[in-house]
Each structure stands twice: as structure tokens, then as C-alpha cells.
Amino acid sequence: MIGLVGSAASAVGLLAAIVGILLGVRAARSGAWDRRLTIVAWTTCIALVGANLLMVAALVGRDFSIAYVAQVGSRSTPLLYTIASLWGALEGSILFWAGLLSIAVVLLVSRTRGPDRALLPASTATLFAILAFFAAIVVGPGDPWRRMDPVPPDGPGPNPLLQNHPLMAIHPPFLYLGFVGLAIPYALTVAALVAGRLDERWLQTVRRWTLGPWVALTLGLVLGAWWSYAVLGWGGYWAWDPVENVALLPWLTATAFLHSAMVQERRGMLRGWNVGLISASFLLTILATLVTRSGILNSVHAFTRSLIGPLFLLLFAIALVGSVILIVARLPGQAEPPPRLGARTTAFLLNNILLVAVAAIVLVGTLFPLFADAVAGAQVSVGAPYFERVVGPIAVGLVALVAIGPSLPWGEWRPETRRALLPGAVVAIGIVGLLLLRGGSPELLAGAAAGSFALVQSAWYIVRRAMPGNGAIDRGPAAVVQRLLRRRRSVGGLVVHLGIAVIALVIVASGAGRQESSVTLRADQTARVGDFEVRFTGTRSEVRSNRVVIVGSAVATGPGIDSPVAPELTVFTGSAQAIATPAIVATPGADLYVTLVDIDATAGTATFRIGIHPFMSWLWLGGGIAALGGLIAAWPPSRRGMATVPVVVRPAGDDPARGILDG
């Protein structure tokens, strides 16, 4: 019954999206908004969000007559993971994506006001077209509602790796939110190209719509890294795995856009470049879906087994060719003032070149095995050393720009700018000196110098914005908060920089100070790694709803730690796999990371891998700070404030001391 209704709701969503395309194109031609489009948008939203809720109901109700439930559900899976399995496998994730996209259409239609409404018909038509594609997959080749005959009594449950940590349940939706959200700036850009008005208003609107998805992507990436660290048990957080890489790509181009947008805002330059970055960000989200969902990277040959992979490739090709044609045909008509460089513009250009270079490097490394397989038939892998060697130096340059950029003037270089860099430079030189004494590697020195420089400078810029200006009367903490809030774009950007600096420092420090060792212990034997000691106390096994958990109990002691640890091996009933879940004791100085590798019951021994990872907790904190900064910058100004913000290209060279981040 649920299957029939869900199937019908998906079909209604598809039909409404198609009607939306037709009405949207017609409205774009006539130039007037068609009220029926609002109704159509709500119809797709209700139908597709409804279909998602029905699928959740079917999963929770264990309705194994529905193919998707029979594929990922099981009677013994706990509720949280049952709900999370909505997006845990191919068909469900596309249904989930379609639901989110239908919400995006409604958001765009209902939140667009004033002159922006001129862009609404064409942008809604674009979103409807993307939505129709996803809905068509749900109705056609990726139908999750297919009836099972005979109805199985139980299912296998979701992939074990996806059901032993709550982080798994929450990190994919953030990534999907980011991916889906980036379709909105793209749709607005298509509309602006069609209408021939890539003006300042378009820029402001698109920037606002990009910040939200950027925050979601940032959270998704950091939570994904955390999951990898806390669940996979290999002790790392980023493996340069294709699935991780493709999620990083749109983040890189969206970050580049958020910077280059400021150049266009101030100087009117880089219109075409910005259009390119927005289009690339959207195309990369489709590529990410293609890569993560079609299994293309496991084998080129497995790719064509289902129609879904080739269809995504088709969508990618259409969007790519369409974007290029649109840009080539419409962009030259846009007047652009002559380029004027200054210190700040140059820094932004450099930032953009480096970010796009990183994206290109990661893209090449990720897709190379595909080409090698398709062209030469060779099975190869591109390992982490490639990414680390090439991306590493560029990342150091980017972090150094985080430190320097916000202090640079828009106009001519002025000597007093140098003084603004003093606090960070002093700290960075001090840290490099200390590390030199202890014999650090060149990579460690460069990373630590850039990271500490960026950290101190970003904090310093925020403090300076909180301080009263010349002649202003300071009215205590309330005035400080008010000053910061008034310049929330600037402050938000700097808070993001603070988070990035923290992340950079943790990456460098945890990489350099990492210790690891494997030991086989009898009961009551103790192993020592670094400053920590681990005493094995014994094993026990527990039977939980759908699994047998074998725990290797131990007691860990060390600086700030005296606690039992319980790394686990989990054997799931529905699967032939056993999963090792590490036990992590986090302290501000370091994480103690204990993995149970094996138990030999006859010999009475347990084998542990014990790792020490310095400062890891700060990595997640840095991600949180960056996301918070994005939220501060995205927070809409009050209605009153919005009316007074002039949307004009300021004459070049004005206000050289202040940054463009001021807003």
C-alpha cells in the first residue's frame, strides 16, 4: 500500500516538474512571472517530500514488499540507522536528493523578492529541469518502490560500516544539502546569462545563495573526516579516497567564488570567471554523484550494468555543454570595466588560481585510474603521496594568503600595511625557531609557520574590528558585539579564516607527532607507546540486536588519562564481515587511539594497534569554527540595514585601508 502511494507521489513529482519546465520557459520568454509556477513548485515539493516520508515510514514499518526496504532494511536494525538508510544506498539517495531539490525550488520561489524576481522564471525552469531528471530516475531505472514477489520475511540491513556510529547518520545529509544547494546559484546564473544581466544585484543574490550550501559542505566534509577517523579504525581522517575527493572539489570552487565575488563587487572585474566558478561548482556536484553512486571507480565495466550511471554521465554532459554554449553566447555582451589591480585584488587572484589549481590536481588524480583503465586497460591506483606532494605546497601558500590577504589595501601598496602583519609574523618566526631547535622537517616548518601566522593574524583582524574606531565612544561589551555584528560579512569571513588556520595547524601537528605501534598482549600485560600505557584486562562478548560485539577491555593511563578503553570487533548477523571499531580517548593535547585487531581465544591473547594523534580534537573544533563563520557571514542583514546597503561598484581606489570583507 505504501509502495503504491509512494510510487504515485514520485510520478506526480516528475509530472509537476515537467509542467514546471514548460511554464517556466514560457514565463521566461514573456518576461512575466506565472503564478501557476508557485503552485507547481509546492506540488513537486509536497509530492517528493511526501515520497521521502513514505519511504521512511516503509523502512520503519519494515515493509519488505518494497524493493528498497528489502535491500537495506532489517528487523533488527536500530531506529536511527533505519531512518539513515533512506540515503544509505543508491535508489534511496536519489529519492532523498529529489526531495531536497524540490524544497530548494520552493525556497527560491518564496524567498526571492524585488528586482531579483526578473531572474525567477528562467532559474525556476532550470531547477525544474534538474529536478525532473532526478524524479525520472526515481520513477524509471532507480525505482525504489518496486514490489518484491515473494515478500521476504526479513532483509540484510544496511552496510555494517554505515551502522556503527551516529556520525554516519548525519554526515551524508550535510553533503547532500551542500550539493543540492549549489544548484540554486547555478540556476540563478543561467537565468542571468539568458537575461543578459550579470550585474551587481545578481552577484549579491548568488553570493547569498552560495554561503548556505558552503556551510553545509564544510560541515559534511569535516563530519565525514571525523567518521572516517572514529569508525574505520585506520587512524587517519582523510585517505584521498575518490569518494572524499569528489566531495572536496565543489567546496574548492565554491570557496574560490566567495573570494572572487568580492573582486567583482569592488572592481566589476571577473564576471566571466565568476560565472565559470558557479557553473563548475554545480557540475562538480553532479560529478560527485556520478562517481559515488554509479560504482564507476570500482570498475569501468561495472558502470554500464545499471542505466543510472550512464544517465548521470548524460546529465553531466548536457549541463557542461549547455553551460559552455550559454557562456560563450551571452558573456561577451556584458560590459566590464578595465582591470585595475592593487595589492588586495592581486591577493584574491592568487587565491583563486591556487584554489582552482588544487581542484584541478585533485580531479586529475581522482579520474586518472579511470582513464588508465579505459584507454590502456591498466588497473592502477594514484596514492596519497601524489596528492600530498602536489597539494601540500599549494595549501601552505593558501594558508599564508589567509594571514596576509585581509590586511592588504585595495589601492596602492602602503608601507603601514607591513605593521599590521607584525603580530602573526613574530609568533610564526618564534614557532619556526623552536621547531628548528628540535629538528623539524622542512614540510613541518613551512606548515607550522603558515598556520600560526594565519591563526594569529585572523584573531588580530577580528580584535581590530571589535575595537572602537577613531573618535567613537566605547560603550562596553555590548558595543563590541554591535560593532562585530554590523560588519558580519567581514567578521564571518575572518572567523572562517580562524577555523581554517586551526585545521591547517592540526593537519601539520598531528601528521608530524603521530606515533603508532602494534602489540599482542596477554591479560594484565602492559604496552607502552609514547607517554601512554595500555593494560589489557580481558575480553568479553555481548549480543546486541543485530550483532555480536567482542570487546577487548583495557585500561589506558597517561597525561590526563586514567580510564578504561573498550575497542570492539563487531560481527553483524546479516553480513560476512567483521568491523573493528576503535576506542578513542580524546584530550586537548592528544588522542589515544586503540584498535582491537584480533583475538586468539585459544592462546588467550589480543592484538591491539595503539596510536597517538596529537591535537586531533582541535580538527573538529576548527571545522565547527569555519562553519560558524560561514553562518555569521550568511546571516541576512536586518530589513532596515538591507535598504541602506548601496549596491554599486565603488570607484576604484577608494578607502584603501579598509578591506572588502567589510560589509
Partner 1 sequence: MNRPRAATLLGIVLVAGALVVLVAISLTSAIVYYVTPTELAARSTGEPVRLYGIVAPGSVRWNGADSLLSFRVTDGTTTVAVSSRSLPTALFRDGVGVVLAGRSTEPGRFMADEILVKHSEVYQPLKPGETIPPGLLERLGAGGTTP
Residues near partner 1, by CB under 8 A = 76, 156-157, 159, 232-234, 295, 298, 339, 341, 353, 357, 360-361, 364-365, 368, 372, 378-383, 385-386, 389-390, 518-520, 539, 541, 543-548, 550, 569, 571, 573-580, 595, 597-602, 605, 607, 609
Between residues 44 and 93, which has the closer beta carbon with respect to partner 1? 93
Q: How far is the CB of 539 from partner 1 (least distance, A)?
A: 5
Between residues 557 and 607, which has the closer beta carbon with respect to partner 1? 607
Between residues 361 and 445, which has the closer beta carbon with respect to partner 1? 361
Q: How far is the CB of 607 from partner 1 (least distance, A)?
A: 7
Query: 287 to each of 248, 297, 302, 319, 531, how far by Cα in Å?
Result: 11, 12, 17, 11, 45
Q: How far is the CB of 296 from partner 1 (least distance, A)?
A: 12
The Cβ of residue 227 has, within 10 Å, a number of other Cβ atoms equal to 21
Between residues 201 and 340, which has the closer beta carbon with respect to partner 1? 340
Measured at the CA of 265, the angle between CA 495 and CA 641, to 5 degrees, comes to 65
What's the gap between Cα 411 and its chain centre? 34
Between residues 297 and 420, which has the closer beta carbon with respect to partner 1? 297
Q: How far is the CB of 89 from partner 1 (least distance, A)?
A: 8
DSSP SS3 for 578: strand
Measured at the CA of 458, the angle between CA 391 and CA 416, to 5 degrees, comes to 105
**DSSP single-letter state for residue 375:** I
Q: Which of 240, 319, 249 is nearest to 281 (CA)?
A: 249
The Cβ of residue 339 has, within 10 Å, a number of other Cβ atoms equal to 12
Measured at the CA of 172, the angle between CA 167 and CA 174, to 5 degrees, comes to 95
Measured at the CA of 410, the angle between CA 408 and CA 411, to 5 degrees, comes to 110
DSSP SS3 for 592: strand
Q: How far is the CB of 566 from partner 1 (least distance, A)?
A: 15
Between residues 131 and 297, which has the closer beta carbon with respect to partner 1? 297
Q: Which of 100, 78, 87 is nearest to 56 (CA)?
A: 87
Q: How far is the CB of 398 from partner 1 (least distance, A)?
A: 14
Q: How far is the CB of 66 from partner 1 (least distance, A)?
A: 17
The Cβ of residue 379 has, within 10 Å, a number of other Cβ atoms equal to 9
Return the residue matching grid coordinates 574548492: 252
Within 13 Å of residue 646, how many CA atoms lie on the same side as its CB? 5
Beta bridge partners of 611: 516, 593
Between residues 389 and 464, which has the closer beta carbon with respect to partner 1? 389
Between residues 176 and 240, which has the closer beta carbon with respect to partner 1? 240
Between residues 53 and 597, which has the closer beta carbon with respect to partner 1? 597
Q: How far is the CB of 268 from partner 1 (least distance, A)?
A: 16
Beta bridge partners of 550: 541, 569
Q: Are the CB atoms for 339 and 233 separated by under 8 Å? A: no
Between residues 164 and 189, which has the closer beta carbon with respect to partner 1? 164
Between residues 25 and 243, which has the closer beta carbon with respect to partner 1? 243
Q: How far apart are CA 214 and CA 620, in angstroms?
A: 17
Q: How far is the CB of 232 from partner 1 (least distance, A)?
A: 7
Q: How far is the CB of 194 from partner 1 (least distance, A)?
A: 29
Q: How far is the CB of 653 from partner 1 (least distance, A)?
A: 16
Q: How far is the CB of 74 from partner 1 (least distance, A)?
A: 9
Q: Which of 507, 535, 260, 560 is nearest to 391 (CA)?
A: 507
Between residues 56 and 243, which has the closer beta carbon with respect to partner 1? 243
Q: How far is the CB of 304 from partner 1 (least distance, A)?
A: 15
DSSP per-residue codes, 410-449: SSS--THHHHHTHHHHHHHHHHHHHHHHTT--HHHHHHHH
Q: Are the CB atoms for 189 and 207 separated by under 8 Å? A: no
Measured at the CA of 321, the angle between CA 316 and CA 323, to 5 degrees, comes to 95
Q: How far is the CB of 241 from partner 1 (least distance, A)?
A: 10
Q: How far apart are CA 315 and CA 309, in angstroms?
A: 10
CB under 8 Å to 365, separation ≥6 — which residues?
240, 245, 382, 386, 387, 390
Q: Which of 176, 217, 223 is nearest to 52 (CA)?
A: 176
Q: Which of 171, 180, 12, 20 is nearest to 94 (CA)?
A: 180
Between residues 76 and 557, which has the closer beta carbon with respect to partner 1? 76
Between residues 482 and 545, which has the closer beta carbon with respect to partner 1? 545
